[in-house]
Amino acid sequence: MSVFSRMTMMAKGLWVLLGIVVILTPHGNLSGQTPIWLEWQRVSDTNILADPSLGQADVEEKDFATADFDLDGDIDLICVRKLPYTTFGSRANVLFLNVDGVMTDQTLELAPDLAIPDNSRDVQVGEFNGDLWPDLI
């Protein structure tokens, strides 16, 4: 299985999640931020808690950003998904929170608007409104 549950930031490395290799930054890739590599290390066979269709079976176009979305001290993940060759939504976005090393789909509980299919192609994370919580654009 290529989904890993314990994340460590490294200067160089690979991060394999949902069956693909991605390059991530700790707070999106806003102008002036230096991209870093993240590596997930496998510590169990239950590294992701989500609908099975969101795992390795999902091979559609995606973009990712990471931040501590719930301010609990660990890195969480936002995944936006797009159905190729379409203009209107048929893929929902997913908010994965790191809960004791398990990436847990918390979209419906914490960000239900992300579950509305919208064909998002890009996601960025930053602090835009001064409330000290990570914001998505």
Is 1 domain-assigned?
no
Instruction: State the DSSP string of 54-70.
Output: GTTT--SEEEEEEE-TT
Rounded distance, CA 69 to CA 113, Å?
15
Is 52 domain-assigned?
yes
- Per-residue confidence (pLDDT) for residue 13, from 0 to 100: 33
Rounded distance, CA 54 to CA 32, Å?
31
- pTM of structure: 0.65
Is 36 domain-assigned?
yes
Number of domains in the chain: 1
pLDDT string in tens for the chain (137-residue length): 222 322 332 222 333 444 333 444 444 444 545 555 656 565 666 677 777 777 666 777 788 889 999 999 998 999 888 887 777 767 889 999 999 888 899 999 999 999 998 888 889 999 999 999 999 88
Is 88 domain-assigned?
yes
Rounded distance, CA 105 to CA 72, Å?
16
Q: Which domain holds residue 72?
A: 6-136
